[in-house]
């Protein structure tokens, strides 16, 4: 991360300050104010005076929601409790994405499994419409027993996927060696639950047990410290955002978090595109050789 100069980060901060308009920092967790349930015919619900959101899947349909606002860089936190019990065949997605064929996207996907087996946490980064940067993990706890905070840090230097403050994955800005990095397209936050038993659990060998439906994932305590898109051209941050909450704009992994990241990847990573020789017989992508994916 030291390869990105201080001045480039400072330019982003100045950019946000110069474009002050009607936008504000988004933090809090009133789901009525922050999100729209976009599909599911009643299977998505906001309850408890806007403090809790749930998405359900049954044999006929899943459900989903999206943020009302678009963000250009930010620190996004959401507490999730995943589908308990036999969740084989189900996928709960939690991700940021822009629009169009050349979209950018930052993905968490939670692949269900049989009772007692671990969830698979699937991560990916799309840049200008191209993904194929998958890393997968198991977790050191049961993500269905209680709420846990899943976070996306996205700033000009890096993208970090974290759970409860522990980083799972980092994707650094390596434009200097020709690796594209998402930095111009604002993204909404999305989540959805759907049936993917043709591929999700052991390559589709285990099918969804519909006698256990509905399958429900729950959400609470959304927080976003971010530059919010306020027009078709610009994003902006208020001065309050800059003075009180802008540490995320230049945040990087300190030595303690780097050690935690290494611990996770050594013990809980189950797939890394940067070691899949069958997919890349002509050589790995350049970020793999830089060992900073």
Instruction: Please write the tens of the pLDDT for every residue from 149-161.
Output: 999 999 999 999 9
Among 31-40, 172-181, 284-293, which is the least confidently predicted range? Answer: 284-293
pLDDT top residue among 248 and 5: 248
Residue of 33, 51, 105, 170 with catalytic role:
105
Active site residue 109: yes
Segments in the chain forming alpha helices (H): 6-18, 31-34, 239-245, 255-267, 286-289
DSSP line for 155-199: -SSEEEEEETTEEEEEEE--GGGT-----SS-BEEEEEEEE-TTT
The pLDDT value recorded for residue 204 is 65
Question: What confidence tier does 45 reach under pLDDT thresholds 50, 70, 90?
Answer: very high
For residue 146, what pLDDT is reported? 97
Q: Tens of pLDDT along 191-239?
A: 999 998 876 666 666 788 999 999 999 999 999 999 988 765 555 554 3
**242's torsion region: left (phi>0), alpha (psi -120 to 50) or beta?**
alpha
Provide CB contacts within 8 A for 111, sequence distance 6+: 90, 91, 119, 120, 121, 122, 196, 200, 201
245 — pLDDT class (breaks 50, 70, 90)? low
CB distance 124 to 107 below 8 Å: yes
Prediction pTM value: 0.87
Tell me phi and psi for residue 55, to 5 degrees: -120, 135
Greatest Cα pair distance, the chain, in angstroms, is 57
User: What tens digit of pLDDT does each residue of 17-38 get?
Assistant: 333 233 344 445 689 999 999 9
Give me the catalytic one of 70, 109, 170, 287. Answer: 109
């Amino acid at each position: 991360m030291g390869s990105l100069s201080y001045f480039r980060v400072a330019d982003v901060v100045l950019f946000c300050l110069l474009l002050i308009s009607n936008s504000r920092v988004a933090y809090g967790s009133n789901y009525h104010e922050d999100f729209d349930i976009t599909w599911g015919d009643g299977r998505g619900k906001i309850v408890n005076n806007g403090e809790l959101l749930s998405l359900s899947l049954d044999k006929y349909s899943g459900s989903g929601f999206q943020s009302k606002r678009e963000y250009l860089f930010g620190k996004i936190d959401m507490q999730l409790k995943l589908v308990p019990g036999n969740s084989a065949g189900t996928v709960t997605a939690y991700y940021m994405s822009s629009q169009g064929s050349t979209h950018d996207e930052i993905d968490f996907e939670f692949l269900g499994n049989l009772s007692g087996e671990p969830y698979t946490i699937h991560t990916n980064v799309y840049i200008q419409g191209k993904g194929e940067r998958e890393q997968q993990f198991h977790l050191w706890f049961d993500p269905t027993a209680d709420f846990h905070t899943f976070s996306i840090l996205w700033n000009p230097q890096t993208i970090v996927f974290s759970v409860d403050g522990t980083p799972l994955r980092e994707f650094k800005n390596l434009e200097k060696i020709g690796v594209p990095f998402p930095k111009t397209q604002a993204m909404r936050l999305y989540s959805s639950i759907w049936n993917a038993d043709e591929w999700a659990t052991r390559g589709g060998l285990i099918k969804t047990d519909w006698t256990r439906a509905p399958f429900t994932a729950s959400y609470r305590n959304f927080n976003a410290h971010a530059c919010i898109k306020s027009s078709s051209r610009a994003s902006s941050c208020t001065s309050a955002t800059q003075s009180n909450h802008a540490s995320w704009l230049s945040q990087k992994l300190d030595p303690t978090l780097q050690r935690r990241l290494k611990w996770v990847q050594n013990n809980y990573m189950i797939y890394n595109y940067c070691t899949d020789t069958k997919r890349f017989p002509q050589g790995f992508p350049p970020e793999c050789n830089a060992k900073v994916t």
